[in-house]
Amino acid sequence: MPASRLEHHLATCPHCARWVAEATRLSRLARVGREDTPDLADRIHAEIALPAARVRRHRRLAQLGLAAVGLVQLAIAVPALFGNTIDMAMVTHAAHESAAWNVALGVAFLATAFAPRRAAGLLPLLVAFVGVLVVLSARDLASGAVELGRLATHLGAVAGLVLVYALRVSERATPPSARAVVETDQPDEPGRGLRGVA
């Protein structure tokens, strides 16, 4: 019997429709028992994935903060490019190496602020750098090898690490179907921008 004919019969025959409803009820009782099973799909989904609007707001704040930190890192690097340093006596080449690192860090922060999906790749480098820097800075401060003013220039790297981590968290919290909503309008790969929009 074609499915369309069966559906038509069930729609027009109350006796058979009641039989199908009772058979469906008995089948459910046999599978899940007598207790009504509530539909928890919405609650579970809400707890697993943050709402897109909240993710978008958190991401925007982290992006703006990271862009500001990137600009600060570049500002710290510029004096060293011309032989001047902040509260620290260094030979010229060491100052240039430090300047090159600060330029790279500033550019990396800016690039990640504009394309947050890069955050995962930047995290291992930042964790290693900031971790070692904190240990060495504490030792240098205790021995009097560095002034507090110079240590203050490292706060940008620490803030950058926190913001990059925040962007990574927002990436992981975004459901695939909503990822295009919070993506920037400048995709690096062809076809990436609107993929997965439901």
Per-residue confidence (pLDDT) for residue 87, from 0 to 100: 60
pLDDT in tens, 80-137: 666 566 565 556 677 777 888 888 899 999 999 999 888 999 999 899 889 888 888 8
- The reported pTM is 0.55
Does residue 117 share a domain with residue 21? no
The pLDDT confidence band at residue 187, using thresholds 50, 70 and 90, is very low
Per-residue confidence (pLDDT) for residue 110, from 0 to 100: 92
Per-residue confidence (pLDDT) for residue 111, from 0 to 100: 92
pLDDT in tens, 19-51: 988 888 888 777 766 666 676 767 766 666 666
Domain span at 20: 3-37
9: in domain = yes
69: in domain = yes
Does residue 70 share a domain with residue 31? no
The pLDDT confidence band at residue 188, using thresholds 50, 70 and 90, is very low
Flag whether pLDDT at 160 surpasses 80.
yes
Does residue 21 share a domain with residue 80? no
**Degrees, nearest 5: CA angle 39-41-47:** 130
158: in domain = yes
pLDDT in tens, 136-157: 888 888 888 888 888 888 888 9
Does residue 160 share a domain with residue 82? yes
Does residue 108 share a domain with residue 14? no
